[in-house]
Amino acid sequence: MTKILVAVAWPYASGPRHIGHAVSTFIPADIFSRYHRMKGDEVLMVGGSDMHGTPTTVRAEEEGVPPEVLANRYHALHAKNIEQLGVRYDLYWNTADPNHKRDVQEIFTTLRGKGYIDERTMTSPFCAKGNHFLPDRYVEGECPRCHFKSARGDQCENCGRLLDPFELIDPRCRVHGTPPSPKETKHAFFRLSAFQDPLERWIADKGHWRLPVLTFTRAWLEEGLQDRPVTRDIHWGIEVPLPGPEWASKRIYVWFEAVMGYLTASREYWRRKGSPVRCKEWWYDPEARHYYFIGKDNIVFHTLFWPAILMGYDENLVLPHDIPAAQFMNISGEKMSAGRGKGVWLPDLLERFSPDQIRYYGTANMPELKDSEFDWKDFAQRNNSELLAVYGNFVHRALTFAAKNFANAVPAAAFLDGADKGMVRNIEEQWKKVGQNLEYCHFRDALREAIQLARLGNVYFDAKAPWDLVRTDRAACGTALHVSLRVSRALAVVMAPFTPFSSSSLWNALGYDSDVHGQPWGAALEDIPAGQRLRVGAPLFAKIEIETPGDAERLDVRVGRIVEVQDHPNADKLYVITVDLGDEVRTLVAGMKANYTKEQMLGKRVAVLCNLEPAKLRGVPSNGMVLAAEDARDVGLLLPPDDAPFGAQILGTRGAPRLTFSEFQKFKIRVAEGDRVVFLGTDEKQSIPFKVGDKFVRVDKGFPPGTPVH
Ligand SMILES: [Zn+2]
Ligand SMILES: [Zn+2]
């Protein structure tokens, strides 16, 4: 029995998470934890929401809400989505908790006392227009390496390079758009360079790490580690425990404190259990094993910075054993990023599909060694042709045939012939392969070997042809069904870490009242008792039907916020409106002057048709269209949900080809019951609601169903 710490990267509480995030962190961490719990290891799985940092403050400023309001909203959403996905943390915490803050400040003070933190004056980008420094995401510009146009001051999210803000080409303030100037400021520095030798020695025996993780880490060590500032000129975060008024306007850098959360959350878990001393069993026992589940953009924070913090803070602490960082899951070749409002959002996926379907595809297509691609057709196909057709069908056939022909109970096994014995041996062989792969965090291979057991089951079932055997040799037929149900039982156990909900259903259908997740991993090898009553229910999995891209895909409707409203210089009924779409700002002309005052429009979230051919309206260029319902009486804006991120997709495809106004007019969009809005297509055969995540877009002022929207 080993003590295992499963440490899961802290998602920013700055917006909903997407499938790419889940497949690099929550899902593999949960599979790994479930497997080790079944093996009898003592697992402590911790993590939570990262409440601080510039992703949260930038978004909060855009929405005009305090950062804690935004962070609390998304922390609650993350916690809900994690539970829906069946991901079982021992503690899903957050970094705004006072106990985390206190522990972080204590670690900071200890490191400083040991000479690993000192204060230095450095030059930071400063925006004169807004009279503020520009930490991390507040400065944007072109990446000097890959020339991505919207790289941020701390990191280029396109190529993953960590950046010094002065390296950016054409840098600008994210808020004011002005080029920053250098200004001196005082910050606390972590002496990472002092850990060059200890880290090199520590890395030397990490040959079991994934190759991209090892290569990336070694490249950093070869370049030579630099001391790094670990405070920021920002007001949201953990206060710097240093005397002097200049520190009041600074906070501890989010990456310095969030990684400490693995230790502080472990303490918190045992504190809540009433035995705080037990935390030491995970953190001071050299036999304890620590695994960190993260995405590739966070590698060095976990392979170098965090181990250095641990070494500096207390040399007896357990260091990471493995850091199976995942590459990215891309959609249409682009990295999914919560910061940029793209992606396949968890709240939306969880509303449309079962958690096991999402977990299955996420694992079967997990970007373990190289980036993978999220593709809707592939998502449907893998679920339908593997999870459903191989696993779901096999167990359903065995269950329904036994129920129908053997009085709803497990038939007895009589004489086992060679094929029967071979099938029983297959259980053990596949079970071993699944376990071996899981030990090394090879999740894709582990899942493939588990499905292979169902595949072999189907081959066996077909070869036995029980539908013939039941008439010619009832005892042999009973044996074949017994073996098939035994294989189904084994599948419920070996699939439990991957698809926990369907394993519970299957376990129950096989006649067990116990919890399959409480079974030991070795239970997969046990036989099923003859005579046990079966409880055959619905098939385990539903077929996924993805509509072929229809008319709706030709539109690109996103959430925008009105940031400026001016009178049109040449037209009495028109406004010139500026909308913020999250990653771009557009100017467009709208005929709403008779229906809304400037004050009523300013700050409102609206639905913007983004792929309308730009045009000049009475001399003013208009790039896009604010959608609204209109009848003879009035005009009503479409209102996305209050918490919708700017730039979030409401309908259609981001970057869809441009439409002329007359092409757009062929599509029918109408008000529906409950102030909802639906897209009906050109032929009115479709009915796709306007939505963001799981929430509907509603029409302002109340219009009767059928009112046209344009
Ligand atoms: Zn500024
Ligand atoms: Zn780059």
For residue 181, what is the domain's CATH number? 2.170.220.10
pLDDT of residue 548: 52
Mean pLDDT on 526-554: 87
Q: Look at residue 343 and tell me whether its pLDDT is greater than 70.
A: no
Please report the DSSP string for 182-221 in residue order: EEEEEEEEE-GGGGHHHHHHHHTT-TTS-HHHHHHHHHHH
Q: Residue 118 in 3-state DSSP?
A: strand
Q: Which of 484, 507, 525 is the last residue of a domain?
A: 525
Cβ partners under 8 Å of residue 645, min gap 6: 15, 16, 59, 341, 559, 582, 692
Q: Look at residue 341 and tell me whether its pLDDT is greater than 70.
A: no
AA letter at 576: V
Place of tokens 């497997």: 35
pLDDT of residue 646: 87
Among 131, 120, 137, 115, which Cα is nearest to 61's? 137
**Does the pTM of the predicted model rise above 0.75?**
yes
Q: Measured in angstroms, how far is the CA atom of residue 563 from the centroid of ligand 1?
A: 16
Q: Look at residue 125 and tell me whether its pLDDT is greater than 50.
A: yes
More confident residue, 156 or 200: 200
Domain shared by 466 and 560, yes or no = no
Domain shared by 634 and 667, yes or no = yes
Place of tokens 């309206």: 617
Q: Measured in angstroms, how far is the CA atom of residue 326 from the centroid of ligand 2?
A: 19
Mean pLDDT on 445-474: 97
Q: Measured in angstroms, how far is the CA atom of residue 124 from the centroid of ligand 1?
A: 13
CB 394 within 8 A of CB 458: yes
pLDDT of residue 338: 46
pLDDT of residue 585: 86
* Distance (Å, whole) CA 30 – CA 6: 9
More confident residue, 196 or 344: 196
Mean pLDDT on 289-293: 98
Q: Measured in angstroms, how far is the CA atom of residue 258 from the centroid of ligand 1?
A: 26
Query: Residue 386: which domain range?
Result: 375-525
Q: Measured in angstroms, how far is the CA atom of residue 575 from the centroid of ligand 1?
A: 27
CB 672 within 8 A of CB 705: yes
pLDDT band at 355 (very low <50, low <70, confident <90, very high): very high
Domain shared by 497 and 416, yes or no = yes
pLDDT of residue 489: 98
Domain shared by 63 and 138, yes or no = no
pLDDT of residue 552: 82
pLDDT of residue 553: 80
Mean pLDDT on 268-290: 98
The answer to whether residue 363 is domain-embedded is: no
Domain shared by 519 and 437, yes or no = yes
687: left (phi over 0), alpha (psi -120 to 50) or beta: beta
Q: Look at residue 340 and tell me whether its pLDDT is greater than 50.
A: no
Lowest-pLDDT choice from 268-282, 408-422, 569-583? 569-583
Cβ partners under 8 Å of residue 313, min gap 6: 107, 110, 111
- For the chain, the residue count is 710
Domain shared by 587 and 689, yes or no = yes
Q: Measured in angstroms, how far is the CA atom of residue 234 from the centroid of ligand 1?
A: 13
Domain shared by 689 and 655, yes or no = yes
Mean pLDDT on 224-251: 95
The answer to whether residue 30 is domain-embedded is: yes
Q: Measured in angstroms, how far is the CA atom of residue 72 from the centroid of ligand 1?
A: 26
Domain shared by 267 and 158, yes or no = no
Strands 635-639 and 688-689: unpaired
Ligand nearest to the CA of 179: 1
pLDDT of residue 186: 96
pLDDT band at 332 (very low <50, low <70, confident <90, very high): low
pLDDT of residue 470: 96
Q: Measured in angstroms, how far is the CA atom of residue 432 from the centroid of ligand 2?
A: 42
pLDDT of residue 549: 52
For residue 318, what is the domain's CATH number? 3.40.50.620
Top-confidence range, 148-162, 380-394, 605-619: 380-394
Query: What does the angle CA 640 – CA 642 – CA 648 come to, to the nearest 5 degrees?
Result: 55
The answer to whether residue 304 is domain-embedded is: yes
Q: Measured in angstroms, how far is the CA atom of residue 149 from the centroid of ligand 2?
A: 9
The answer to whether residue 218 is domain-embedded is: no
Q: Measured in angstroms, how far is the CA atom of residue 503 from the centroid of ligand 1?
A: 53
Q: Look at residue 336 and tell me whether its pLDDT is greater than 60.
A: no
Percentage of the chain beyond pLDDT 90 is 77
Average pLDDT, the chain: 93
Give the count of domains, the chain: 4
Q: Measured in angstroms, how far is the CA atom of residue 587 from the centroid of ligand 1?
A: 21
Please report the DSSP string for 369-425 in residue order: SS-EEE-HHHHHHHIIIIIIIIIIHHHHHHHHHHHHHTTTBPPPP----HHHHHHHH
The answer to whether residue 145 is domain-embedded is: yes
Percentage of the chain beyond pLDDT 70 is 98
The answer to whether residue 219 is domain-embedded is: no
pLDDT of residue 75: 97
CA dihedral (606, 611, 612, 615) positive or negative: positive
Among 356, 298, 305, which Cα is nearest to 327's? 298
Ligand nearest to the CA of 174: 1
Q: Measured in angstroms, how far is the CA atom of residue 202 from the centroid of ligand 2?
A: 29
Q: Which of 509, 525, 541 is the last residue of a domain?
A: 525
Q: Look at residue 331 and tell me whether its pLDDT is greater than 80.
A: no
Phi, psi angle pair for 205, to nearest 5°: -105, 30
Domain shared by 560 and 667, yes or no = yes
Q: Look at residue 60 and tell me whether its pLDDT is greater than 50.
A: yes
Domain shared by 692 and 635, yes or no = yes
Q: Measured in angstroms, how far is the CA atom of residue 156 from the centroid of ligand 2?
A: 5
More confident residue, 385 or 614: 385
Q: Which of 294, 320, 352 is the last residue of a domain?
A: 352
Among 673, 587, 690, which Cα is nearest to 638's? 690
SS (H, E, C) 141-190: EECCCCCCCCEECCECCCCCCECCHHHCEEEEECCCCCCCEEEEEEEEEE
Domain shared by 307 and 269, yes or no = yes
The answer to whether residue 440 is domain-embedded is: yes
Top-confidence range, 149-163, 168-182, 214-228: 214-228
Q: Measured in angstroms, how far is the CA atom of residue 334 from the centroid of ligand 2?
A: 13
* Distance (Å, whole) CA 679 – CA 688: 5
Cβ partners under 8 Å of residue 246, min gap 6: 186
More confident residue, 6 or 652: 6
Q: Measured in angstroms, how far is the CA atom of residue 178 from the centroid of ligand 1?
A: 7
The answer to whether residue 370 is domain-embedded is: no
Domain shared by 616 and 516, yes or no = no
CB 229 within 8 A of CB 189: yes
Q: Look at residue 339 and tell me whether its pLDDT is greater than 60.
A: no
Ligand nearest to the CA of 127: 1
CB 412 within 8 A of CB 482: yes
Mean pLDDT on 137-160: 87
Q: Measured in angstroms, how far is the CA atom of residue 61 from the centroid of ligand 1?
A: 12
Give the model confidence (pLDDT) of 373-401 as tens digits.
888 888 999 999 999 999 999 999 999 99
Ligand nearest to the CA of 149: 2
pLDDT band at 655 (very low <50, low <70, confident <90, very high): confident
Strands 372-374 and 585-590: unpaired
